[in-house]
């Protein structure tokens, strides 16, 4: 509704066409009917006074009758005039009332069909002006409402886009308003903190989270204002018996006046990175230690040879043998490190083929017989019947079996027994290679760590030298490369049994 329309609808209140009804209304207006009624009453009073005088002067009965009849007729005429004026005024007021009710419902004041008494013209004129102003203001408010609706739709679209972006982030995200209440949390945050965003929205963050130090970080960021808009902190917490580390980015949302309007907290889980960094640190430290021992021995004996401390051939030969032994040890260490590194990084060259498992086991056992006989250890090989071929890399399979048998011979006392056997496990379609000994065994607390890099049980380290990489390499060859399984069972001073399981080819 425009302002021009408002003026057009208001003008008929002030300008009516000169119809018979309007003339009658002006003639019988409240003021004119009142004046006419007063005049008639004065006439009646005059006639009544004249009649009283006639009575006093003993006028004729006919004259008195005429005088009182005229007085009665004038009284009736005054009453009729007053009633007619009241009726017309009431009708006009009722129509005006109806139009005003129509205005409250339809926000539009229609033309008045009934004539309007002159006394009401100033009132209706002021009302028309007020209605016009109100309509103008209403039109302005409607335009403002349309603009606000457009802005709200744009803001709602931007909010939906922002929420879509936040929910697509793999890191946990929490959005807290200026009152410290949670207003948004993505799926990753729900999984991390164990709550449902819809149920906890607009709740104080202290009730959502139960970690006091984290709540303090968020509060500090919320109250920082323009002093620190964005900051990063590293936060560690214990969850399910495991220490988790997060790189938290706290971004304070500020308005044009620099006042804080909320905080956005992004939690990037760096637990794995920290664990890898620690493993790398431990690995470098262990490798450095393992390399230092053989290099120190080689350097020492080479210096003695250079200085001429070996005066006879037997001494020089002894020095050469020590240097050769330490060199072989160093070579094995470097070879194991490279093999493990290649397998873990996925760049090792694997040449799979159909390999009879019994053939590989028999070959390795024959290779280890001289070493076993040297220690007076009985090394037996029991090959199962109808053992199918495995789809494996021959060299890696050979090395895995060799490492386990070599460990069994190394940690079994002279006069002991090492038994190698093969059999088929049809329930899980694996070929099992079992190596058992009656040697020193492994303590229960050390069993879970025998496959760790550079780990050596204290009892074993006292008996024989080693790098602590052999079993770790075997585990990678069996499980990582071939998708098999490796298990170990042992009792201290009762021996050890290690089983390597490789998937065999389908029939």
Helices (H) and strands (E) in the chain, counts: 16, 12
- 379 in the Ramachandran plot: left (φ > 0), alpha (ψ -120 to 50) or beta? beta
Whole-angstrom distance, CA of residue 15 vs CA of residue 282:
102
Q: What percentage of residues in the chain have a pLDDT greater than 70?
A: 76
Residue ranges per domain, the chain?
Answer: 3-138, 171-269, 274-345, 352-503
Note every long-range contact of 335-342, with CB atoms under 8 Å and residues 24 or more positions apart, other chains counting: 336/467, 336/469, 336/470, 336/473, 337/287, 337/469, 339/399, 339/473, 339/476, 340/453, 340/469, 340/472, 340/473, 340/476
Instruction: List the end-to-end C-alpha distance of the chain, in Å, as a whole number.
Output: 87
* Distance (Å) of CA 18 to CA 33, 85, 124: 20, 19, 18
* pLDDT for the residue 502: 93
What Rg value do the Cα atoms of the chain yield, rounded? 55
SS3 113: coil
Structure tokens, 4: 């021009």
Q: CA dihedral in degrees (34, 38, 44, 45; nearest 10)?
A: 150
* pLDDT for the residue 37: 67
Neighbours of 98 (CB within 10 A): 14
Pairing mode, strands 378-382 and 230-239: unpaired
Could you say which of 3.40.50.1110, 3.30.565.10, 3.60.21.10, 3.40.920.10 is the CATH number of the domain covering 352-503? Answer: 3.30.565.10
Q: Which residues contact 289 (CB under 8 A, 6 or more apart)?
A: none
Whole-angstrom distance, CA of residue 17 vs CA of residue 115:
9
Residues of the chain with pLDDT under 70: 1-34, 36-37, 40-41, 44-45, 47-59, 64, 67, 99-100, 102-121, 224-228, 258, 279, 282-283, 286, 289-290, 293, 336, 344-347, 454-468, 506-507
* pLDDT for the residue 500: 93
Note every long-range contact of 383-388, with CB atoms under 8 Å and residues 24 or more positions apart, other chains counting: 383/358, 383/421, 383/422, 384/358, 384/421, 384/422, 384/423, 384/424, 386/424, 387/356, 387/357, 387/358, 387/422, 387/423, 387/424, 387/431, 387/504, 388/357, 388/424, 388/431, 388/504, 388/505, 388/507
Give residue for tokens 């190698």. 420
CB of 286 closer than 8 Å to CB of 454: yes
* pLDDT for the residue 56: 47
Could you say which of 2.40.50.140, 1.10.287.130, 2.10.50.10, 1.20.1250.20 is the CATH number of the domain covering 274-345? Answer: 1.10.287.130
Q: What is the value of pTM for the model shown?
A: 0.46
Give residue for tokens 């808009």. 229
* Distance (Å) of CA 338 to CA 159, 185, 341, 446, 450: 53, 45, 5, 25, 20
Whole-angstrom distance, CA of residue 452 vs CA of residue 103:
89
* pLDDT for the residue 227: 52
Helix-strand-coil percent breakdown of the chain, rounded to 5?
A: 60, 20, 20
Residue 389 φ then ψ, to 5°: -75, 155
In this structure, the chain runs to a length of 507
Whole-angstrom distance, CA of residue 415 vs CA of residue 405:
16
* pLDDT for the residue 79: 78
What residue ranges in 330-453 does DSSP mark as E strands? 352-356, 378-382, 389-393, 417-425, 430-437
* pLDDT for the residue 48: 64
Q: pLDDT, tens digit, for every residue of 496-505? A: 999 999 998 7
Pairing mode, strands 242-254 and 172-177: unpaired
Interaxial angle between packed helices 121-168 and 3-10, expressed in degrees from 0 to 180 and rounded to the nearest 10: 160
* pLDDT for the residue 50: 63
* pLDDT for the residue 117: 60
Whole-angstrom distance, CA of residue 217 vs CA of residue 470:
47
Q: Which residues contact 494 (CB under 8 A, 6 or more apart)?
A: 438, 441
* Distance (Å) of CA 114 to CA 14, 33, 149, 206: 12, 18, 42, 70
> Tell me, what DSSP letter sits at residue 119?
G
Q: pLDDT, tens digit, for every residue of 160-210? A: 787 788 778 888 888 888 888 888 888 888 888 888 877 878 888 888 887
CATH number of 171-269: 3.30.450.20
* Distance (Å) of CA 481 to CA 26, 349, 450: 112, 10, 19
* pLDDT for the residue 1: 38
Structure tokens, 27: 């003639």
């Amino acid at each position: 509704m425009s302002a021009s329309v408002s003026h057009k609808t208001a003008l008929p209140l002030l300008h009516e066409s000169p119809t018979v009804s309007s003339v009658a209304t002006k003639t019988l207006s409240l003021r004119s009917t009142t004046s006419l009624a007063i005049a008639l009453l004065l006439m009646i009073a005059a006639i009544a006074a004249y009649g009283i005088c006639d009575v006093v002067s003993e006028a004729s009965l006919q004259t008195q009758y005429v005088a009182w009849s005229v007085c009665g007729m004038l009284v009736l005429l005054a009453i009729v005039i007053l009633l007619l004026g009241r009726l017309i005024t009431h009708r006009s007021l009722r129509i005006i009332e109806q139009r005003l009710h129509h205005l409250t419902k339809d926000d539009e004041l229609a033309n008045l069909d009934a004539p309007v008494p002159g006394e009401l013209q100033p009132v209706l004129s002021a009302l028309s002006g007020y209605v016009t102003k109100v309509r103008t203001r209403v039109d302005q408010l409607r335009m403002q409402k349309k603009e606000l609706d457009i802005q709200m739709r744009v803001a709602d679209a931007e909010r939906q886009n922002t929420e879509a972006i936040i929910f697509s982030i793999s890191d946990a995200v929490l959005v807290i308003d200026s009152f410290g209440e949670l207003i948004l949390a993505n799926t990753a945050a729900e999984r991390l903190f164990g709550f449902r965003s819809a149920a906890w929205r607009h709740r104080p963050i202290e009730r959502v989270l139960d970690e006091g130090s984290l709540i303090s970080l968020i509060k500090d960021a919320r109250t920082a204002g323009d002093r620190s808009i964005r900051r990063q902190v590293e936060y560690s917490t214990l969850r399910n018996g495991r220490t988790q580390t997060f790189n938290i980015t706290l971004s304070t949302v500020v308005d044009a006046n620099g006042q804080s309007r909320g905080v956005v907290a992004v939690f990037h889980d760096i637990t794995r990175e920290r664990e890898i960094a620690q493993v790398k640190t431990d690995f470098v430290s262990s490798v450095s230690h393992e390399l230092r021992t053989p290099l120190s021995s080689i350097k020492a004996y080479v210096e003695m040879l250079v200085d001429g401390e070996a005066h006879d051939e037997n001494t020089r030969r002894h020095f050469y043998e020590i240097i050769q032994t330490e060199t072989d040890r160093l070579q094995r260490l470097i070879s194991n490190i490279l093999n493990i590194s290649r397998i873990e990084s996925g760049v090792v060259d694997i040449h799979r083929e159909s390999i009879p498992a019994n053939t590989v086991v028999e070959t390795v056992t024959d290779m280890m017989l001289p070493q076993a006989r040297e220690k007076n250890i009985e090394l037996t090989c029991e090959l199962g019947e109808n053992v199918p071929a495995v789809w494996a890399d021959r060299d890696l399979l050979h090395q895995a079996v060799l490492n386990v048998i070599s460990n069994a011979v190394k940690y079994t006392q002279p006069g002991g027994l090492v038994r190698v056997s093969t059999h088929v496990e049809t329930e899980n379609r694996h070929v099992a290679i079992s190596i058992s000994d009656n040697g020193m065994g492994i303590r229960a607390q050390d069993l879970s760590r025998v496959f760790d890099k550079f780990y050596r049980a204290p009892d074993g380290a006292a008996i024989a030298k080693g790098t602590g990489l052999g079993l770790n390499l075997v585990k990678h060859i069996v499980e990582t490369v071939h998708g098999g399984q490796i298990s170990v069972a042992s009792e201290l001073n009762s021996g050890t049994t290690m089983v390597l399981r490789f998937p065999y080819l389908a029939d």
